[in-house]
Structure 1
């Protein structure tokens, strides 16, 4: 997408979950490059602070926010603190996700809970806190990172597919409510295919890199969704590697 994404985000504040590395870090870099002040939200403090140091060293406004998206009270506290500090969130990117690649026969209840809570309930908690505040201010944009697993699953992907399918349905509902409640709010789901990130490569070290795409391409897609003029909104985008077999 590259030069096609020309979003001017100066004066905007963006919060990206799971931003310490991989796709989240790519998104944070793209948003900062477009002029946004970036809140790098993650549980991995060292990696997240390293990214913030990188971005501030380049002249960008970047701050680390420690956040476990699975904890609704902690999520609410972050947004309350930001509001009280006069730093409301204009752009939310729900990117944090985990997976456990096991046959259903061997999954534990704790593993299922961790995946579904992180991938579905966590983004919902953040949307609840963000959307009501965007309604009050009359504008903003929420981007939920989905997956091809939201449309078509495969073996060893039960909890992950369930979470992403649920998040896609929630995103569609939020889109419809924003169209009704406040035309200044954009809601976009990004269905991303396989990427060359630690999320895949740590679990599948022998993965064929020619079948994966760069996370920077997906980050450009996020930026493109944010670049659409106010009279329009992109509800959903799909970006997959050319050779990916999991879509549609």
Structure 2
């Protein structure tokens, strides 16, 4: 196998959750450019189909799958529908996520549960259904999106921190159970990225200065800068890598 073939996703189908915008969309478009057929996901059917149409216009092979990643029955139904259509998911990216910023003493249980379900439980649900189908085939790739908070905590985002810490251990658990079946499960820990979810932070001069001063790269990351690592973990280049979390953070987590 040549070096270029190692990263070729031609002939594979990737399901990327939360992929109508932000990091998920960048990963989806990167996979598509690497040859993969795409199943993109969002909760809003109109927005999901609109994103799919834009990607098709760019020459990518895309189907839209609008469903709530926290709804067990909806997740199971999507996989049954894909089975019925003869679509095999070779690559799963658990990217869907939300944030809720509030001091823990003021945090409502419903908000805690909403963040945990969206960021962590969804990865369990999607991973379980994907693995049921990957195991008989003896191959598959699962990429979970973690965070700097998979390793370190920050005040006012405790549910997110717990969920992303859980992603790290969920990834290791997936690797422990599924690597013997030819499935590699890994995670990516993005640093502070220029996404819609972070718009309030980028607009805050003090926080913006803190990120730039705290990050050795001296800037925020761009969503497209996650694509290379995602393709590596989704491709044959990582066939002997499983249970790992790779930080893509401009060096932030490596320094005091």
Q: TM-score under structure 2 normalisation? A: 0.88
| Corresponding residue for residue 99 of structure 2 | 99
Q: For residue 129 of structure 1, what is the aligned residue in structure 2?
A: 129
Shift of 1:5: 9.9
Query: Is it true that 1:239 corresponds to 2:251 in the alignment?
Result: no
The residue aligned with 2:195 is: 197
How far does the alpha carbon of each residue in 1:115-139 deviate from its partner, in whole angstroms, 9 at most, with x for none? Answer: 0010111110001101111001111
Tell me, in whole angstroms, the C-alpha distance in 2 between the residues paired with 1:91 and 1:191. Answer: 18
Q: 1:173-212 counterparts in 2 under 5 A?
A: 173-180=173-180, 182=181, 184-202=182-200, 205-206=203-204, 207-208=207-208, 210=212, 211-212=219-220
Post-superposition offset of 1:13: 0.7
Instruction: Show CA shifts across 1:23-73 (max 9, x none).
Output: 011001001101111011111333322221122112211111001111011
Alignment CA distance shift 1:156-1:134 (3 Å): same
Relative to its length, the structure with more helix (as a share) is: 2
- Offset, 1:202: 4.1
Counterpart of 2:78 in structure 1 is 78
For structure 2, list consecutive stretches of 5 or more residues without a partner in the other structure: 213-218
Query: For 1:226, which of 234, 238, 251 is the aligned residue?
Result: 234
Unaligned runs of 5+ residues in structure 1 are none
Superposition RMSD on alpha carbons, in Å? 2.2
Alpha carbons of 1:111 and 1:204: their partners in 2 closer, same or farther (altered >3 Å)?
Answer: farther
